[in-house]
Structure 1
Amino acid sequence: MKVIIIDDEKSVRNNLKQIIEENFNEVIVVGEAHSVKSGLELIHETTPDLILLDINLTDGSGFNLLEKAPTIDFQTIFITAYDEFAIKAFQFNAIDYILKPIDSESLVKGIEKAKSLTNKNFITKDELEIVLSNYNKNDEEKCLAIHESNKISFVDLKDIIRCTADSNYTIFHFSDTSKTTTSKTLKNYEQILPKSMFYRVSASCIVNLKYVKEYRKGGSVLLKDGTEIDVSRRRKDDFLTVLKEKSA
């Protein structure tokens, strides 16, 4: 596997290269770059299988580089300092990233994952556009990438009524009455979905607060699609507080 590193910090590039050399014999770093311009030239010269790509470069961003690339026929792992908005954008779109300072274990896992993929996990231009869109939008305008068995669907958060757990799977219920199932757990989506819009009312259900019609004294919530869901006892007080804040 041919890898190139595009990062504006030489110390980071050196660290990434050292970790790769210490842990892989068959993964070769074939070049380094520090900017969008030099990165594009390096991609053309080396035709890499994988790019370790920093978000912030000297003359733009990693996003800019991918936008300008004629084709994206390589896998990408983003490298970023803690940037809440960038991380959320990656999580929403199921894109791999590693935080600075670089953790050896995280990098090794990321590369192992890239090596193991039978179907090349190239980010498409459409996905890139959605990542950039999510990076700049308010929560209610964002999209979420949902991995299904044979495709990735991009759905508007505002169209999700609720998410329910089915063992280690999650079922999404949408405003048009359709459903889709993904192999990720409800806990995973609890961490990703914005707290301003969604609330986990029980171990098995997350609801979109926009679709809450009424809270019933017996300890359940009625959604606008007619679904009634029990709220767990330990979450009732907090849930009521959230509802009051939303209606204030």
Structure 2
Amino acid sequence: MKILIIEDEARIAKRIERMTRNFFDKEVQILLADSLENGLITIDQHEIDLLLLDLNLNGEDGFEILQAFVARSFHTIIISAYTDKAITAFAYGVLDFVPKPFDENRLTQAFMRFTTPGKQLNEDISFLAVKKGKAVRLIRIKDIRYIKGAGIYTELHLSDNHIELHDKSLESLEKLLPSTFERIHKSFIVCWHEADKLIVEPGGKYSMLLKNAELLPVGRSKYKEIRHKMI
């Protein structure tokens, strides 16, 4: 696992590194960058799994990194004193916002969100970002009908019937999406607002009929839970 820490104050960077090593396996590789430019270069040169990002980098705005790489597959945890930017950060789909000053317990909570599988409720997220060539397009959460797993990528199926490819896996997106979304199958996450009814098919198979008449599979292990929620 590769973790990148972008922090301009060396003392704080070393403290974050120590706490990170205390939590993760000793085999974790930690990369350090002390400026906006070095952070951008490091992300371009390495496939990282987690970014720990300060928002004030010697007067430069760390949001430039967030905006440039929000569509990438890695998760981001913000560590910053600029708590007024927390809502904006969550809207961009960050996993957590750790306010400075912080202690090891608070950072551990953020790491637990990263390592714990399944949904980690984030009601403030407003959109997901997808790469379109060299540009980044922001997809509104409310425009997503359902999400389909496609290997290490995902397909965002939108209300206008377009499909956008996202770099994050289904498991990663499940951590970010609000409670209006539910994992109904190993390969599908659906927006509750789009669900019409559950269907029991011959052979003990289950499906969910959407309001646009599309039919999605429902995992056997998920059926009882989903049926209860739809009552």
TM category, shorter: 0.5 to 0.7
Distance 2:168 2:191 in 1: 18
CA distance in 2, matches of 1:90, 1:145: 13
Matched, 1:207 2:190: yes
Q: Map 1:1-248 onto structure 2 (within 5 A).
A: 5=8, 12=12, 15=15, 49-50=38-39, 54=54, 78-80=78-80, 86=86, 90=89, 93=92, 101=104, 139=124, 142-148=126-132, 150-194=134-178, 196-218=179-201, 219-244=206-231
- Worse overlay, 181-190 or 141-150: 141-150
User: How far apart are the structure 1 equivalents of 2:188 and 2:33?
Assistant: 45
8 A contact 2:7–2:13 mirrored in 1: no
| Superimposed CA distance per residue, residues 171-202 of structure 1 (whole angstroms, 9 cap, x where no aligned partner) | 111001111112321111111111x2101110
Q: Would you say the 8 A contact 1:5–1:13 is kept in 2?
A: yes
Cα distance in structure 2, aligned partners of 1:17 and 1:233: 42
Distance, in Å, in 1 between the alignment partners of 2:34 and 2:167 is 33
CA contact (8 A) 1:173 1:179 kept: yes
Q: Is the 8 A contact 2:92 2:126 kept in 1?
A: no
For residues 236 and 148 of structure 1, do their structure 2 counterparts lie closer, same or farther at Cα, with a shift above 3 Å needed? farther
Instruction: Provide the identity percentage.
Output: 20
d(CA) in 2 for partners of 1:28 and 1:165? Answer: 33
In the alignment, what sits opposite 2:47? none
Cα distance in 1 for residues equivalent to 2:158 and 2:181: 14
Give the unaligned 5+ runs of structure 2: 1-5, 20-29, 41-51, 70-75, 112-121
Pick closer, same or farther for the CA change 1:193–1:149 going to 2, 3 Å: farther
Q: Given that residues 80 and 97 in structure 1 are in contact (C-alpha distance below 8 angstroms), is that contact kept between their aligned partners in structure 2? A: no
The 3 A distance-change label for structure 1 pair 94 and 199 is closer
* 1:143 CA displacement: 1.9
- Runs (4+) off by over 4 Å: 16-19, 27-30, 47-55, 71-77, 88-92, 94-100
Aligned residues: 172
- In structure 1, what residue type is equivalent to 2:92? N
RMSD of equivalent CA atoms: 4.7
8 Å CA contact retained: 1:214, 1:221: yes
Alpha carbons 1:146, 1:152 under 8 Å: kept? yes
Matches of 2:60 and 2:161, distance apart in 1: 36
Q: Which has the higher contact order (CA 8 A, sep 6+)?
A: 2
Give the counterpart letter for 1:93 in structure 2: Y
Higher helix share: 1
Structure (1/2) with the larger strand percentage: 2
Give the residue type in structure 1 aligned to 2:79.
Answer: I
